[in-house]
Amino acid sequence: MSSGPRPSVPRPSGPRERSLSLRARVGLLAALGVGLIVVLVSIAAYVTVRVSLLRQIDASLFERAQAAASSPLGDQQVLAQIPSEALGAADIRIALLRADTGVIASKTEEGRFRNPPLGRPELNVARGFLPSSVRTAEGDDGKTYRVVAVPASRVRGFALVLGQSTERTEALLKRLGLVLLFVGGTGVAVAAWAGMGIARTGLRPVRRLTAAAEHVARTGDLRPIPVQGTDELARLAHAFNAMLSALADSRGRERRLIADAGHELRTPLTSLRTNLDLLAQSEGRPGLSPADREALLRDVRAQVAELSSLVGDLVELSREDPPAATHAPVDLADIVGHAVERVRRRAPGLRFDVSAEPWTVFGDAQALERAVTNLLDNGAKWSPPQAAVTVTLRGGVLDVADQGPGIADADLPHVFERFYRSEEARTMPGSGLGLSIVKQVAERHGGSVSAGRASGGGALLTLQLPGTPGHARAGEPGTPPTAPDR
């Protein structure tokens, strides 16, 4: 049995530093930073000392060369008879260089001649092409010399050449390099240790925040963590606590939503099941009159409609994004008229006093009519028989005032919350979702809703929508049709 190609499993890639802890990375970064600074300072110090020492050697050699050139040493016969040790420095070599490359050097105590390194620069001084020269060159003994050449004042066509070994200078620079290396290494180690300590102290709030997040993920405990200080990490902790608080509120709303939805769905389902059981038991048996049977069927239809409406409201409110709809200019006054006619048929014992001025809104006509209908249904539900519901639309502000008992002060902040029902409303039909849908529709159209008390003592619900005065032009899409009665 053949099998298809195995899916390739991605291997962890990336630099090795990704596996290091943040504290280790901070310490490593501090060590690298200090190490770079130490290297630059060490190089600068080494170069500065080297240049300074070479300048001192050059100045000393020029001074000696000029003094020797004007002294009897500038005479080739005298120079040939004087050993270089008599010049006061055993590491100095002296010679007279003739323009035709002839060399007269001083002898050692053993009688050997020791010439300083000679080359074209010194020959150019002897020939008068250069006033002087200085350079570093290697002697015949393998050592490095600093070589200075000046014209001999006593003999024309000669250059007095002095060469001094840089062995002592190189040894001093070598010791300096070792000292700088030791000090730099120590500084890097101290910087790494200090960086680790600073990272440990500075990242303590991050570790506490990480532990809190892991605790929340493991246990679901949303209690806030203690916060100290006012720096950026403290602000991060405050933001984390705010997130925990929002998550706790969301979880609480979710639990209430599930509990309330279960309660609201249970009631019509139970009643529906009871009526269906009665209808099933009456099949083929006497005892249930045609009128009672018709009444049960009407109750079943009403309960199915109530259940469908409740499920639709739940689906509508559970959407994070607004459903796809055609937005077009619609006249809010026409929507109010259609909604009033619909609610008037459902509440024939009430009077609706309507005063609506044209107001064009760019939006979803169906959603807007549903929101207005919910406001009117709420006013009709709370109004006593033969009472009046006042509906006023002016400047994009729709006021619906009833003559009921009004809204208690404790309930005003919660009127538009999902499934919220006051103590008085728990015995009345409804799911507590109608005003929540009004709020959702208003916010999706850039408007707002509010609740208060009417002048007659009842409830006053206000829907405010942005728009422009006047009617929507006839024939434009989005004009709401007369919706069938629900």
Query: Taking the complete model, does pTM exceed 0.95, yes or no?
Result: no
pLDDT of residue 315: 66
Kindly list the distances between the CA atom of residue 457 and the CA atoms of 66, 404, 409, 454, in Å, as whole numbers in the listed order: 118, 7, 13, 5
Considering the domain delimited by 24-171, tell me its CATH architecture: 2-Layer Sandwich (3.30)
Sheet of strand 397-401: strand arrangement: 351-356, 388-394, 397-401, 459-464, 448-453
Q: What is the DSSP string of 199-214?
A: HHHHTHHHHHHHHHHH
For residues 244 and 224, is the Cβ–Cβ distance under 8 A? yes
The boundaries of every CATH 1.10.287.130 domain in the chain are: 232-318
Cα 288 off chain centre by: 71
**CATH 3.30.565.10 domain span(s) along the chain:** 328-469
Spatial separation of the C-alpha atoms in residues 261 and 72, rounded to whole Å: 120
Ranges of the chain with pLDDT below 70: 1-19, 71-91, 101-114, 153-155, 253, 256-257, 259-261, 263-264, 267, 283-288, 306, 309-310, 312-326, 419-432, 472-486
pLDDT at position 401, please?
Answer: 92
In the chain, CATH 3.30.450 sits at 24-171
CA distances from 342 to 81, 316, 390, 409, 460 (A): 136, 21, 15, 31, 20
The confidence score (pLDDT) of residue 12 equals 47
* pLDDT at 106 (0 to 100): 54
| pLDDT for position 228 | 73
Task: State the Cα–Cα distance between residues 277 and 279, nearest whole angstrom.
Answer: 5
The tens digit of pLDDT for each residue in 238-263 reads 888 888 888 887 777 677 667 666 76
**Nearest Cα to Cα of residue 347 among 378, 370, 371, 313:** 378
CATH annotation of 328-469: 3.30.565.10
> How long, in residues, is the chain?
486
Instruction: Compute CA 73 distance to the chain's CA centroid, rounded to the nearest angstrom.
Output: 80
Pick the CATH number of 232-318 from 1.20.1090.10, 3.40.50.2000, 1.10.287.130, 1.10.1750.10: 1.10.287.130
Q: How far apart are CA 445 and CA 438, in angstroms?
A: 11
Name the 3-class secondary structure at 116. Answer: coil
If you ran DSSP here, which 8-state letter would residue 110 be given? T
Residue type, 281: Q
